[in-house]
């Protein structure tokens, strides 16, 4: 196993922990919101906001995990009809395009997250610095980039089964 594959596997393990924690936080905040609203007649103003930010983290980091496990939605009508060398070439080109897009997105997401506009923004209900929800973008894209690089390298070295 090469270095990129090991890195991709390690990132995936970290992503599983992040998503598990985010799902737990989202679930608990929504349950608490419902209980306080309907049983105590005193709604929590922060429960929806924290659930929304948790969902954003789940979306970006979960998208990275789905890329790693090759579980993203795709239209594969053409690829299913191809076999052999042409299929592997098109697969490699597709991964190269995805990798290029992700690198571009990652490069521009870092200055965006470090901009003063993001640094001084606060959420409405909790007054949480908005860098925490926004940080899900470069973290998720970084994971996707690592996984896409791993998939691209595997597509170059894998022989198509006849």
Burial class (CB in 10 A: 0-12, 13-18, 19+), 64: buried
pLDDT (0 to 100) of residue 124? 87
pLDDT of residue 162: 38
User: Is 95 part of any domain?
Assistant: yes
Low-confidence stretches of the chain (pLDDT beneath 70): 1, 159-162
| pLDDT (0 to 100) of residue 153 | 92
Is 48 within a domain? yes
In a domain, 147, yes or no: yes
Cα separation, 148 vs 146, in Å, equals 6
Predicted local confidence at residue 32, as pLDDT:
95
> What is the pLDDT at residue 160?
56
**Could you read off the pLDDT of 121-137 as tens digits, one per residue?**
988 888 899 999 999 99
Residue 158: count other Cβ atoms within 10 Å of its Cβ: 12
Domain assignment present for 162? no
Residue 51 in domain:
yes
pLDDT digits (tens, 9 = 90+) for 97-117: 999 999 999 999 999 999 988
Domain that holds residue 128: 3-157
What are the C-alpha distances in Å from 82 to residues 17, 89, 148, 157?
A: 38, 11, 22, 18
The answer to the question of residue 142 being in a domain is yes
Neighbouring residues of 124: CB distance < 8 A, sequence distance ≥ 6:
49
Q: Report the domain count for the chain.
A: 1
């Amino acid at each position: 196993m090469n270095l990129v594959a090991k890195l991709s596997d390690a990132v995936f393990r970290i992503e599983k922990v992040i998503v598990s924690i985010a799902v737990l936080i989202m679930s608990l905040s929504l349950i608490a919101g419902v209980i306080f609203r309907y049983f105590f007649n005193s709604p929590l103003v922060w429960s929806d906001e924290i659930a929304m930010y948790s969902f954003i983290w789940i979306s970006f980091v979960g998208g990275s995990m789905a890329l790693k496990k090759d579980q993203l939605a795709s239209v594969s009508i053409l690829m299913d009809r191809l076999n052999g060398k042409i299929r592997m070439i098109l697969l490699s080109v597709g991964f190269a395009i995805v990798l290029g897009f992700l690198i571009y997105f990652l490069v521009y997401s870092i200055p965006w997250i470090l901009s003063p506009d993001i640094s001084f923004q606060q959420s409405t209900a909790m007054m949480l610095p908005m860098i925490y929800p926004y940080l899900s973008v470069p973290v998720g894209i970084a994971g996707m980039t690592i996984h896409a690089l791993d998939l691209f390298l595997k597509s170059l070295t894998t022989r198509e089964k006849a």
